[in-house]
Homo-oligomer: A and B are copies of this chain.
């Protein structure tokens, strides 16, 4: 039974009953009828690319737990050649909604405003996500007490991670989604702490994930393959499948290790799924995953591929990614990708052999829906939220104004080059390029807030870039 159908029975009552089918130019929702039959396009199986031999990770077929009974595990799905759709970016989306603070970017909202986190999970689920990542990004103990952050002290690392697991598991029941516990890069590593210390940091989050019995684990957002491998090794202690993504581009990690070598090292460390997330736009991320794929092939290793890029255009980024762009994080709006950009991304990712396709910062629910809609022919069904979206704009045929109705077609949107409405702005930015990485004094963890004096020194160091007017 497809996701759409599964959800149809669990969603709040909807009027009228809806179903979907594929009619030539696009998928449409109709009036009534047998769901299952309509959902699966005849012969859709033949469109599913045959999977290569599965990775032999322990646990891939043995996910326990009462409510997961009906659900296939992440490796079952990928080994079977299914497309797994990830979710989008929580910290950026919740910052805009008022629940996350840009700067620390920590996820205490899981405790302070669970209804907001729950609603965002639900929206991604409706949009087609097959994985709900626990909202535990930067929820490591050292990050929660860095540079004046109050969370470690007043809420506690354990409480945040537990709350995040509870919310994700609760929403996952509403559809066919797995729950993945997530860890990410630590201030400890950047401050030069050793392997044992860094692994201890990861282990604290892992303890919660194990207790809450999440479906699998993701180590994401790593700038250095060394730390990523430590994370994978730690997460593997749980016996659950481990996915790992680095936030690197084609130039490789911040120590200069190229993507192909990173992938090899991570698979050897125990990851079944490898790829990239964050820091670069879809096009750049796909180029990076391609290099990873080639590296694995050259080393005769196998792993599933994964990509969760930004929803921001970043052709002008260097090695450090969008953090270097002058617009990060409060003026990225002109760079936000459209749903059509995402459809192109999903298609290209699929062609490249990637089967775990999601997004990161900037990906809103409608972006995830665009992945699901683009790959609906291969998957045989549409996500629930497509009930409120005309494929390739075809619902514009219901618009009052005739010239907007004239936009109800694929060719229009596929070929549009959208204007910015900002005549005084450039098209590209000269990124900052400070070239500091692990071990640099300015990257050290520091419990106290940044002082005025420290800020002044930074302001002076900052070379104003081309599109900032003094």
> Which residues of B lie under 8 Å from residue A388 when comparing CB positions?
95, 98-101, 109
Known: A101-B390, A402-B458, A403-B458. 14 other contacts (CB 8 A): A98-B365, A116-B122, A119-B119, A148-B398, A149-B398, A316-B423, A326-B416, A326-B419, A415-B470, A418-B425, A418-B429, A421-B428, A424-B426, A469-B469
Q: A338 vs B20: C-alpha distance in the bound complex, in angstroms?
A: 37
Q: A101-B390, A401-B443, A466-B469 are in contact. Are A425 and B432 (CB under 8 A)?
A: no
Residue A14, interface by CB 8 Å? yes
| A binding-site residues for B, Cβ under 8 Å | 12, 14-16, 31, 95-104, 109, 111-113, 115-116, 119, 122-123, 126-127, 146-150, 154-155, 187, 190, 281, 312-316, 323-340, 364-366, 369, 384-385, 388-390, 393, 395-409, 411-413, 415-430, 432, 434, 436, 440, 442-443, 449-450, 454-455, 458-459, 461-462, 464-470
Q: A334-B334, A418-B333, A427-B426 are in contact. Are A401 and B323 (CB under 8 A)?
A: yes
> Which residues of B lie under 8 Å from residue A338 when comparing CB positions?
330-331, 333
Q: A429 contacts which of B315, B403, B424, B464 (Cβ < 8 Å)? A: B424
User: What 5 pairs across the A-B complex have the smallest Cβ distances?
Assistant: A313-B421, A98-B385, A470-B470, A103-B395, A402-B442
Closest chain B residue, CB of each to CB of A337: B333
- Determine whether the beta carbon of B335 is less than 8 Å from that of A398: no
| Listed residue (A187, A315, A334, A335) with the most chain B CB atoms within 10 angstroms of its CB | A334
> Which residues of B lie under 8 Å from residue A127 when comparing CB positions?
98
- Determine whether the beta carbon of A96 is less than 8 Å from that of B365: yes
